[in-house]
Amino acid sequence: MLSYVTGESPNTAGACSPAWAVQWQSTQKGLESRLNGVLIDRYADGEKAAYPTLCKGRYCVDGETYYAIEEPTSLNTLELLPDLLRLGVAGIKLEGRQRSPAYVTEVTRVWRAAIDTCFDEPGRFAVREDWMRRLGTLAEGQQHTLGAYNRHWR
């Protein structure tokens, strides 16, 4: 899908929404984000703008404008941490690409604290409210999801 727009995809170039293709433009209709010329979204004053990732844009289908592919929510598996450790997961990958230094600083801080807490007392691990709040302010659309972990394998 990305190579359809930019000529580069995760499969061919290891790239999702490559930075060279990103454009921001203030217009009378609002701030527009584009990917190689394709309008991914348009933001009214006061709306939080996101990096123009193709699958998280707002598009029109049958006359309705909405997040047609995915909601701009962030995966947050913090509450699964004890389960992940119990299963033998040895490393956690946090998204950094397409993110600001402020985002990376805060998210790594929260996760470091959570991992340390979980190692110290795995049986009593509970997600702290302030961790979720700090991550929440950084999440896309200020929304969290457990994503595919919500769904039971059939």
Partner 1 sequence: MSPVKLALGPVLYAWSRRALIDFYERVAAAPVDIVYLGEVVCSRRRELRREDWLDLAEMLASAGKEVVLSTLALVETGAELRSLEKLADNARHLVEANDMAAVSVLSRRGLPFVAGPHINAYNAATLALLARLGARRWVMPLELSRASLAQILAQQKTGIETEIFILGRMPLAFSARCFTARRLGLEKDTCGDACGNDPDGLLLSTRDGKEFLVLNGIQTQSSAVCNLAAEIPDLRALGVGALRVSPQSSGCFEVLALVRNALDEALAAGEAATRINALLPGAPCNGFWHGRPGAEQVAA
Contact set with partner 1 (CB under 8 A): 1, 3-7, 9, 11-12, 36, 38-42, 57-62, 64-65, 68-70, 148, 151, 154
Shortest CB 5 distance to partner 1, Å: 6
Q: What is the DSSP letter of 5?
A: H
Shortest CB 110 distance to partner 1, Å: 28
Given the complex with partner 1, which of 28 and 137 has the nearer CB atom?
28
Q: Secondary structure of 37-88 in the HEC alphabet?
A: CEEEEEECCCCCCCCCCHHHCCEEECCEEECCCCCCCEECCHHHHHHHHHCC
Shortest CB 138 distance to partner 1, Å: 24
Given the complex with partner 1, which of 55 and 127 has the nearer CB atom?
55
Rounded alpha-carbon distances, angstroms, from residue 32 to 29, 63, 146: 8, 20, 29
Given the complex with partner 1, which of 119 and 149 has the nearer CB atom?
149
